[in-house]
């Protein structure tokens, strides 16, 4: 080999990196990830089991490719030492392919372990892919930089310094994209909502309501009350007022108002309304419905009944059933619906009498 023309991929550096220890480390990490799954994630949902098994199969396929490449590289290197193997250039390329394959396996195992960690802390809620994808991206960039330094001897400091202008131009071009990315990271750190939560987003007089379906690097996806997809940029989410209706372990309060005539017995009316609401499917019995007089007018009393539900998406159906049940219960008890009353009074000095009109 001509020393004046060193190979593009130095074989000596490849040899120093492809020792048996990294292979054992990868195999050990894969085994640890599998044990965590089998021991600590037995109670995971069927969907999560399918997702994790798919990730494990994908990782196993890449691990097999890495094993085959490493075996071929080892045989080629051993044959080269005996003087009857392929050229050093071919062995170097085979070694580089083995290193890249091992790096891919390491990233995939790390993704699985991060998924398992997030699943352990969020057994009920979904896990956003933003954190996992960002972690995998940063890890891949770090490994690529390490390869460039250790294998090719590239000094990244001067390269980064000379690319400052390019980075500025790229940053300006990707301003909105990067803004959404960092806003998404901030939302994951603050956690005003998680996947599966029902939220209301308000900004500038506009309001969006839906269940959080996914939090990506660019936007948050909601499923609306009528199954429509609402894709809201993360920058909008971070600058909006967010109401979360899925507080941990707390029921969702809803209420309905009923107009009752003054002639009705107040305590009996409260009992009828409370009993009718408590029997509606979807209304929680604990805490029990609460009925109180909210307002008085010239024509009626306003009784308001507050009750709790578990599923925010069923609020309209439950609300309709509550109104139906209360109206039917009041009719069966002999209560008539309150009506507007207008009194017509004759002007002073004019013949006539006072009349009352019910609307």
Query: Are both 332 and 205 inside the same structural domain?
Result: no
pLDDT tier at 343, thresholds 50, 70, 90: low
φ, ψ for residue 205 (rounded to 5)?
85, -5
Say whether pLDDT at 188 is over 90.
no
Q: What distance in Å separates the CA atoms of residue 105 and residue 59, rounded to the nearest whole number?
A: 6
Q: Any idea which of 23-27, 200-204, 295-299 has the lowest mean pLDDT?
A: 295-299
User: Which candidate, 209, 226, 289, places its Cα nearest to that of 255?
Assistant: 289
Look at residue 148 and tell me if it is in a domain: yes
Query: Are both 282 and 333 inside the same structural domain?
Result: yes
Residue 164, burial from CB neighbour count under 10 angstroms (0-12, 13-18, 19+): exposed
Query: For the chain, what is the largest distance between any 2 Cα atoms, rounded to a whole number of angstroms?
Result: 131
**pLDDT for the residue numbered 83:** 65
Query: Are both 15 and 158 inside the same structural domain?
Result: yes
Query: Are both 142 and 30 inside the same structural domain?
Result: yes
Say whether pLDDT at 357 is over 80.
no
How many structural domains is the chain composed of?
Answer: 3
Query: Are both 19 and 126 inside the same structural domain?
Result: yes
Query: Are both 149 and 257 inside the same structural domain?
Result: no
Q: Which of 180, 209, 244 is the last residue of a domain?
A: 244
Look at residue 1 and tell me if it is in a domain: no
* Mean confidence (pLDDT) of the chain: 83
Mean pLDDT of 238-253: 84
Query: Are both 230 and 138 inside the same structural domain?
Result: no
Look at residue 346 and tell me if it is in a domain: no
Q: Any idea which of 32-36, 66-70, 189-193, 308-312 has the lowest mean pLDDT?
A: 189-193
**pLDDT for the residue numbered 355:** 53
**pLDDT for the residue numbered 149:** 87
Mean pLDDT of 46-69: 92
Per DSSP, the residues of 282-312 read: TB-SSSPPEEEEEEE-SS-EEEEEEEEES-G
Question: Quick one: which H or E segment has residue 341?
Answer: strand 341-344
Look at residue 355 and tell me if it is in a domain: no
**pLDDT for the residue numbered 10:** 79
Q: What distance in Å separates the CA atoms of residue 203 and residue 62, rounded to the nearest whole number?
A: 46
CATH number assigned to the domain comprising residue 269: 3.30.70.100
The neighbour count for residue 230, using CB atoms within 10 Å, is: 16
**pLDDT for the residue numbered 1:** 46
Residue 44, SS3 per DSSP: coil
pLDDT digit string (tens) for 29-53? Answer: 999 999 999 999 888 778 888 889 9
φ, ψ for residue 240 (rounded to 5)?
-110, 165
Say whether pLDDT at 4 is over 50.
no
Query: Are both 217 and 271 inside the same structural domain?
Result: no
Query: Are both 205 and 260 inside the same structural domain?
Result: no
Residue with the larger pLDDT of the pair 263 and 359:
263
Query: Are both 16 and 120 inside the same structural domain?
Result: yes
Say whether pLDDT at 75 is over 80.
yes
pLDDT digit string (tens) for 81-136? Answer: 666 656 777 888 899 999 999 999 999 999 999 989 888 876 555 666 777 888 89
Say whether pLDDT at 19 is over 50.
yes
Look at residue 99 and tell me if it is in a domain: yes
What does pTM read for this prediction?
A: 0.60
Mean pLDDT of 266-272: 93
Look at residue 169 and tell me if it is in a domain: no
**pLDDT for the residue numbered 125:** 56
For the chain, where are the alpha helices, taking DSSP H only? Answer: 11-17, 20-40, 46-82, 88-121, 129-150, 156-162, 164-173, 175-190, 234-238, 266-278, 315-332
Residue with the larger pLDDT of the pair 162 and 298:
298
Say whether pLDDT at 340 is over 70.
no
Query: Are both 93 and 198 inside the same structural domain?
Result: no
**pLDDT for the residue numbered 352:** 54
Range of the domain at 283: 252-341
Mean pLDDT of 195-209: 91
Q: What distance in Å separates the CA atoms of residue 205 and residue 198, rounded to the nearest whole number?
A: 19
């Amino acid at each position: 080999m001509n020393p004046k023309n060193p190979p593009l991929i130095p074989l000596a550096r490849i040899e120093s990196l492809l020792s048996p220890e990294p292979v054992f480390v990868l195999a050990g990490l894969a085994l640890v990830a599998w044990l965590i799954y089998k021991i600590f994630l037995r109670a995971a949902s069927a969907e999560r089991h399918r997702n994790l098994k798919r990730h494990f199969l994908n990782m196993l396929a890449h691990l097999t490719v890495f094993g085959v490449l490493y075996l071929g590289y080892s045989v080629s290197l051993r044959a080269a030492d005996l003087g009857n193997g392929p050229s050093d250039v071919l062995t170097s390329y085979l070694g580089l392919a083995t290193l890249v394959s091992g790096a891919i396996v390491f990233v995939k195992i790390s993704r699985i372990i991060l998924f398992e960690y997030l699943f352990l802390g969020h057994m009920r809620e979904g896990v956003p892919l933003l954190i996992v994808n960002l972690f995998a991206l940063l890890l891949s960039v770090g490994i690529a930089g390490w390869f460039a330094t250790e294998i090719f001897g590239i000094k990244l400091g001067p390269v980064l310094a000379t690319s400052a202008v390019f980075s500025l131009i790229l940053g300006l071009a990707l301003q909105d994209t990067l803004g959404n990315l960092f806003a998404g990271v901030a939302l994951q750190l603050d956690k005003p909502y998680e996947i599966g939560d029902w939220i209301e987003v308000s900004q500038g007089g506009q309001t969006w309501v839906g269940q959080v379906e996914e939090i990506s690097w660019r936007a948050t996806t909601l499923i609306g009350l009528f199954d429509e997809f609402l894709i809201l940029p993360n920058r909008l989410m971070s600058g909006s007022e967010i109401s979360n209706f899925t507080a941990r372990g707390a029921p969702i309060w809803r209420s309905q108002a009923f107009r009752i005539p003054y002639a009705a017995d107040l305590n009996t009316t409260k009992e009828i309304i409370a009993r009718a609401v408590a029997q509606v499917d979807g209304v929680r019995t604990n805490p029990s419905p609460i009925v109180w007089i909210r307002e008085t007018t010239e024509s009626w009393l306003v009784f308001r009944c507050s009750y709790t539900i578990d599923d925010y998406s069923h609020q309209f159906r439950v609300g309709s059933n509550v109104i139906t049940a209360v109206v039917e219960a009041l009719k069966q008890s002999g209560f008539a619906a309150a009506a507007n009353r207008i009194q017509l009074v004759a002007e002073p000095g004019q013949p006539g009498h006072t009349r009352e009109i019910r609307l």
